[in-house]
């Protein structure tokens, strides 16, 4: 009986330790994402990219970390890297409207209007509150306007 009690106690301690470690990891990821967002707000794109990579290393399943890293790459005009991060975010959560908007912008800046329009259309379906802004982008694509440079028509 004492042996069984020790085993149960050891298992309970192990489970609690694992749960606390997972909780600490989530807090660390959230803190890193928050720091990356602050760095982006300060226009320190390279630092934000490094910080957000740390967040993803801490929690590879964080759709928010992938979305924010995609945004950092987008701000740094590193469109193919942005697309990869937004794709990862969408693979983790296909209801992530922010990732669809981000990937749409990356496609648009890369001259890939068809995929951009598809991404914006999906984002609009997921978040109808952004429909007016997304419809404006889609109209510009349909009109052949370079949305990165509104004074330049294609």
Q: How far is CA 82 from the centre of its chain?
A: 9
Confidence of residue 151 (pLDDT cuts 50, 70, 90): very low
Q: How far apart are CA 134 and CA 5, in angstroms?
A: 61
The pTM for the full model equals: 0.76
Domains present along the chain, CATH in parentheses: 2-142 (1.25.40.10)
Q: Where are the alpha helices (DSSP H) in the chain?
A: 2-41, 45-58, 63-75, 79-92, 97-109, 113-126, 131-142
User: Sign of the CA dihedral 127, 55, 86, 40?
Assistant: positive
Please give the backbone phi and psi of residue 119, each rounded to the nearest 5 degrees, phi first. -65, -45
pLDDT tens digits, residue range 24-80? 455 689 999 999 999 999 999 999 999 999 999 999 999 999 999 999 999 999 999
């Amino acid at each position: 009986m004492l042996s069984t009690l020790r085993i149960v106690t050891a298992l309970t301690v192990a489970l609690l330790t694992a749960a606390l470690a997972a909780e600490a990891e989530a807090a660390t990821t959230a803190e890193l994402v928050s720091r990356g967002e602050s760095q982006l707000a300060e226009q320190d794109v390279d630092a934000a990219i490094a910080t957000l990579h740390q967040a993803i290393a801490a929690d590879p399943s964080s759709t928010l970390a992938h979305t924010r890293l995609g945004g950092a790459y987008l701000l740094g005009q590193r469109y193919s890297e942005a697309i990869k991060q937004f794709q990862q975010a969408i693979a983790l959560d296909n209801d992530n409207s922010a990732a669809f908007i981000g990937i749409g912008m990356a496609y648009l800046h890369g001259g890939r209007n068809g995929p951009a329009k598809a991404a914006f259309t999906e984002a609009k379906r997921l978040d109808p509150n952004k429909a007016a802004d997304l419809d404006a982008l889609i109209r510009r694509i349909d009109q052949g306007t370079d949305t990165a440079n509104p004074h330049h028509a294609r």
